Amino acid sequence: MLRLQFMISLNMVNRGTKFTGVCIAIYLIYALFVFVILPMLMPNPVAMSRSMLAQQTRHLGDLSKYSLETGGKPVRSMLVSFRGSGALKLLDYLTRQPGNYHHFSPLIAYRNRITQKSRIERALNELVSLYNCDYNNSLPMLRWMKTPSFKNFYGMQWKTCVAYTSEVCWNPEIMANICRIFPFINMSVYNLGLKYLSVLLRRKDLNLRILLLIRDPRGTMASRSNRAWCSGKPECSQPNDLCASMVDDYSIAEQLLHDYPDRFSIIRYEELAMDPSSGLKKIFDFYGLPMKTTEDKFKLKLSSVGLEKTNSLLFERPMEWMDTLLPQDVEKIENVCEEAMNLWGYNPIAQIANSSSGTFVALKTMPIFLKPNLK
């Protein structure tokens, strides 16, 4: 009896050992395929990106005169705004347009808004290098970039990082070579003021177009609330710096509109959000970029509370801050930002009490904006 039990136990051990061995063998075969054989079978990331780009832009004809790789001159553009401006939906659309390579938040390594002269000059040189697909001055940026936001918005990372390892995906030489094949190079900058970025308009070698995105400071502050990247930073969590910069930007923007009428423009977030389909077309036309139709991307309807969401790619409601900010917070922002709001055409909330119709009109009509309904 004991002998029989021993034989049964021994047989079970042997079966368990065999099962473990099979599992180990399957894992080793899987690891060999994924980490050795598959990388050998896949094209290099630059060749893969070139193939995808050719397929996506075949309807645009020959774009070689716009590619740095072929000695051409890319169509370069920039979006200037503040953190919390609501630009992410616009950037999401820009990133996925055929032929467009987007440098998302390229000055992130500077963390806060850049005000020191030496850092400003270094930052401007860095931006010029990136417009020429040179990452040698941006190595600190790469250390900040391995986040979901950068994978979603930066360059071709939303595709490259899926197919290749992190070491390949964020390799500066590979990124530079991929950037160089693109005919359209776009950039979004949050932490450097318009008065400094405007000097890039003087550079004939860049032939840059800049769009300034302005948002109601109450909406910006509401968007920043409860955000980890803003918490504990007075320059971000308080409206003082934001509205002081908005005041500075107004006079600079007026001069730039005069000096560079074809290469500088402004749009208010609220006007874009109320008519994104038409607004996006105007932005792409200003940038000189082709775009896919937006009819299937944006289906909007107005309700008593504003825009209702009917598509995942839709902007925040322009007046959403009225539902999220406390009355004392609104009062504080309006007190600090009175001049900025007056310059940029935003009425105080007290306007509700003075409105005969009982409705809130947030925007004053101003002539200097790139309006979505202009032909």
Q: What is the pLDDT of residues 116-175, one digit of tens each?
A: 999 999 999 999 999 999 999 998 888 887 777 777 788 888 778 778 888 888 899 999
Whole-number Å distance between alpha carbons of 292 and 98: 8
pLDDT in the model for residue 226: 78
pLDDT band at residue 22 using 50, 70 and 90 as cut-offs? low
The per-residue b/e assignment along 344-366, b for 16 or more CB within 10 angstroms, e otherwise, is bbbbbbeeeeeeeeeeeebbeee
Task: State the average pLDDT for the chain.
Answer: 82
In sequence order, the 6+-apart residues with CB closer than 8 A to the CB of 13 are: none
Confidence at residue 288, expressed as pLDDT on a 0 to 100 scale? 92
Cα(188)–Cα(210) distance, integer angstroms: 10
Are the C-beta atoms of 156 and 150 separated by less than 8 Å? no
| pLDDT single digits (tens) 293-319 | 544 444 443 333 344 443 434 678 888
Structural domains of the chain, ranges and CATH numbers in brackets: 51-354 (3.40.50)
Task: Work out the average pLDDT over 56-60.
Answer: 91
Torsion of CA 180, 114, 220, 274, to 10 degrees: -30
pTM of the model: 0.82
CB atoms under 10 Å from CB of 55, counted, come to 10
Contact 133, 218 (CB under 8 A): no
The pLDDT-based confidence of 6 (bands split at 50, 70, 90) is very low
- How far apart are the C-alpha atoms of 307 and 316, rounded to whole Å? 8
Averaging pLDDT over each range in 39-48, 102-111, 117-126, 161-170, which range is the top one?
A: 117-126
CA 360 centroid distance within chain: 30
pLDDT in tens, 67-89: 999 999 999 999 999 988 988 88
The pLDDT tens digits of the residues spanning 329-362 come to: 999 999 999 999 999 999 898 775 455 544 456 6
- pLDDT value of position 298: 43
